[in-house]
Amino acid sequence: MSLDVGALLLQTVPFARTLGVVFDEVSDGRAVCRLPDREDLHNHVAGPHAGALFTLAESASGAAMLSLLGDQLGRAVPLTTGATVEYRKFAEGEVRAEARLRATRDEVVAQLDAGERPVFDVAVELRDGAGTLVSTVDITWTLRPHRS
């Protein structure tokens, strides 16, 4: 199955499209995307709003997840179930997110095959235009099997 993960996410997640999230790399449980520096995405101190940063992180995590598990969409729907966010530094300029799946494809598919609902994490680092680590986000995903 050939899947353009970035295009799929922008089609199915209108808010990511509204924010202008750009997908640069998606493969093998990893994704890199970025959020443009736009005044309408800023907060009261002229940096990217926390909600925009979270959406960037969630978008990257979804792309990383789908890069390994997109072929499972016919049998399960991916859902986020939780997140832990740490805002470390003030972000300036464009922000880049890099996400990495913490589970292996084999682990997740084996759980689906066993009739279980897999739960796994994707770690995301957000860096600003200067390369400064501004936030870390762990997003928890599940694949909920389709109901018959």
| Domain edges within the chain | 5-145
Residue 119, both tokens: 């739960």
Total Cβ atoms within 10 A of residue 67 = 21
**The pLDDT value given to residue 3:** 74
- Is residue 148 predicted with pLDDT exceeding 80? no
Q: How far apart are the first and last CA of the chain?
A: 23
Residues 135 and 51 sit within 8 Å (Cβ to Cβ) = no
Backbone dihedral angles phi then psi of residue 130, each to the nearest 5 degrees: -85, 0
What SS3 state is found at 124?
Answer: strand
Residues 121 and 140 sit within 8 Å (Cβ to Cβ) = yes
Residue 32, both tokens: 């890199």
Among 10-14, 49-53, 109-113, the least confident range: 10-14
Q: Which of 71, 148, 138, 136 is nearest to 108 (CA)?
A: 71
What SS3 state is found at 100?
Answer: strand
Q: Which CATH class is domain 5-145?
A: alpha beta
Mean pLDDT across the chain = 94
Helical spans, DSSP H, in the chain: 5-12, 14-19, 50-69, 105-113
**The pLDDT value given to residue 2:** 59
Total Cβ atoms within 10 A of residue 60 = 34
Backbone dihedral angles phi then psi of residue 6, each to the nearest 5 degrees: -60, -45
